[in-house]
Structure 1
Amino acid sequence: MNRNFSFIILTFNEQIHLPRLLKSIKKLNARVFILDSGSTDETQKIAQDYGAEVKQNPFINHPRQWDFALKNFKVETPWTIGLDADQTVTPELFEMLINFKDEDHSDINGIYFNRKNFFQGSWIRFGTFYPFYLLKMFRTGIGFSDLNENMDHRFIVPGKTKIWKKGWILEENLKENDIAFWKAKHERYSDLVAQEEVERMLKLRMQSLKPNLLGSPDEKRAWLKQLWWKLPLGLRPYLYFGYRIFFKLGILEGSTGIKFHYLQGFWFRRLVDKKIKVILKDRPLNL
C-alpha cells in the first residue's frame, strides 16, 4: 500500500465517471476514501468493488462537503489528494505521483496540479482556462477546505507550495453534454453565488486568502475576485465575456468552446447578477 499519499473523492451519481477515475489511479496502490451524497445509481457499488472506504453525508455545498471529508476520514498517509469524480489522472501526472516521496518534499505543504478542462469533448484551452492550477495535494491535517466560499471550493495550506506544470488532471463532466443538465446545475450554483456576494456586501464573509496578483494561483484568483466584486452589476458579464473571447483568445476555441465561454462566462454571470439585484431589492443595503 502506498505510504506517501491517499485519495479522497466526492461523488453523487457518478457511475459514468468513477470507473474512469479509479482506473487512472489504480496502479498507484493508494488508499481511496469516497464521500457520497446519496447516489441512487451504481456509484456506491463501484466504489465498494474497488475497495474504497465509503461514507455518506448530505450535500449542502462543495466547501462544506470537503470539510466533512477531511475531518471524518482517517487518512494515515502524510499527504492527501482531493479529486472530483469527473477528473482523471493523466499518465504524466501518474509518473510524478508514482515517483513521489514525502522526504523529497519536506519544505512544502501543498502541490498544485495543472487542469485541462473539457466541455462536450473539446479542450477549453483559451479564455483563462489553461493553464489552470488547482491545489489538489496537501499535507494531511494541514490542508483544509475554504468555508468562506459558497460554491467555488479550494484547499488552503499555510507555508510553501509547489506547482506541477506538467502534472495534469483532465476534467470532463460527461453529464454536461446535455445542455439542459448544465443549465439546471448552474441555476442551482447561481443561487449560491448570488447569496454569497450579498453576504460579502454585508461583511458577513471575508476572503480566507490574502489577495495578491503576484502570489500563488489561489492568491491571484482572490485578487481578481476582489476586482470582480467592484465592477457594476449587469455590466460585468459583458466585460468578462469580451475579455475571455477577445483578450484571452476564446474566439479561437471553435464553436463548442465559444458556446462554453458564452454559457459559463456570460449566461451564468448574468443570471447571478439578476439574482443579486432581486435579493438587494428585497433587502436594500446601505453600502
Structure 2
Amino acid sequence: MQDISVIILTFNEEKHIKRCIESLLLFTDKIFIVDSGSTDKTIQIAESLGAKITFQPWVNHAVQINFAIQNTPFKTEWYMRIDADEYVLPELAEEIKNELIKIPNTINGIYIKRRVFFMNRWIKHGAYYPIWLLRIWRHGMATCEQRWMDEHIKLFSGLTMQFKNDFVDHNLNNLTWWTQKHNIYAINEVIDLLNIKYDFRNFESVEPNFFGSQEQRTRFLKVKYASIPLFIRPIIYFLYRYIFRLGFLDGKQGFIWHFLQGFWYRFLVDAKVYEVYHRVGRDKKAIENFFKEEFNKDLTK
C-alpha cells in the first residue's frame, strides 16, 4: 500500500462504487467518501469495502471536494480525487504502487489521462483522448477552484509530472439519466459562462493560458468560447469536434456522444442564457437575483 488516500463524492452510485473502490484497493486502503444523501445501497457497499464515509449536503463539486480535503480522516503524503463512475486501470494502479515513492520533493502534482467510455465504446476522437487531469497532489499543496462547473485541482506551488497509464470514465446509467443530469449541469454551465462576462465573484482559479497545462488551455478556450454569439458557438464546437478532430471515427456511439455532449448540451446552455436575458435583461444585479429566486443559487459566494 502506498502513502496515498482517495476522495470520492457519491450520490446513489450503487452501480459504480464497487468497481471504483476495488480498482483503488490495488494500491491503497485509505478511501474517503463524501456522500450527499444516497438512498440506494451506495453506503452499504462502500462500508463493506472498508471506505470511511461522511455526509455533506450537496452544493456543487468544488464545495464537496474542498470539504473532503479539509475533513479527510487520512493524513497521507498524497491525495487523489476520482469520481464514483470512474475507475483506475490495473496498469495505472501498478504505476502508482511502483513510482509514487520515487517522486522528488519538487513535484507536488501528477497528471493522469482519462478515457471516456459511452455506450461501452471508448471515445478516442473529437479531442476527447487523451485528456490530462491533475488528479493526484501532495498533502497541503492544492485546493479545488471554486467554480460552479468544470472545476480543477489547483496547486499552490511546485512542479507537476505525468503518469503513463489511464483511468476510465464509464457511466453505466441509461441515456434518460444522462440527459436529465446534463439538464441540471446546464444551469451551472450558464453561471460559469456568465461569470466570465460579469465577474460575480473573485476566487482562486486556474489561469487561462493556451500554451499551459491541459486545464489552463481548457480555461483559455472557454473564455474565447464565451465571446462567440449565442447559438453560433455550439454549431462551431460540434463541427470542430466531429469533423476537424475526427469524431466521426468513433462510430454510431461516437455520433450520439459528440452530438449530445458537443451540440445538444451546448445549445441547451445557450437557450438557458437567452432565457436569463429574456426574463431579466443584462443587468448584473438582476441576473444575480434571478438565480437566487429561481434556483436558490447565490452567485456571489
Report the TM-score range of the alignment, normalised by the length of the smaller protein.
Answer: over 0.9
Q: Does 1:99 align with 2:98?
A: yes
Q: Which residue does 1:156 correspond to in 2? A: 154
Q: Does 1:213 align with 2:201?
A: no
> How many Å apart are 1:43 and its aligned residue?
0.6
- How many angstroms apart in 2 are the aligned matches of 1:134 and 1:101? 17
- How many angstroms apart in 2 are the aligned matches of 1:26 and 1:118? 22
- How many angstroms apart in 2 are the aligned matches of 1:181 and 1:101? 37
Q: Which residue does 2:295 correspond to in 1? A: none
- How many angstroms apart in 1 are the aligned matches of 2:212 and 2:101? 25
- How many angstroms apart in 1 are the aligned matches of 2:10 and 2:184? 17
> How many Å apart are 1:125 and its aligned residue?
0.5
* Letter paired with 2:258: H
Q: Secondary structure at the match of 2:261?
A: helix
1:19-50 CA-partner distances (Å, limit 9, x unpaired): 11111121313311111111111110111111
CA contact (8 A) 2:2 2:97 kept: no
Q: How does 1:109-258 map to 2 (within 5 A)?
A: 109-147=108-146, 149-157=147-155, 158-164=157-163, 166-175=164-173, 178-205=174-201, 208-258=205-255
> How many Å apart are 1:200 and its aligned residue?
2.8
Q: Which residue does 1:23 correspond to in 2? A: 22
* Letter paired with 2:218: R
CA contact (8 A) 1:3 1:77 kept: no
> Where do 5+ consecutive residues of structure 1 fail to align?
none
Per the normalisation by structure 1, the TM-score is: 0.94
- How many angstroms apart in 2 are the aligned matches of 1:179 and 1:29? 33
* Letter paired with 2:198: L
1:245-287 CA-partner distances (Å, limit 9, x unpaired): 1110001110111100000000000000010011122332269
Q: Which residue does 2:57 correspond to in 1? A: 58
Q: Which residue does 1:266 correspond to in 2? A: 263
* Letter paired with 2:115: K
Q: Secondary structure at the match of 1:99?
A: helix
1:196-246 CA-partner distances (Å, limit 9, x unpaired): 322332121457122111111111111111111111111000000000011
* Letter paired with 1:153: E
Q: Secondary structure at the match of 1:252?
A: helix
RMSD between aligned residues: 1.6
Corresponding pairs, count: 282
Identity %: 37
Q: Which residue does 2:34 correspond to in 1? A: 35
Q: Does 1:45 align with 2:50?
A: no
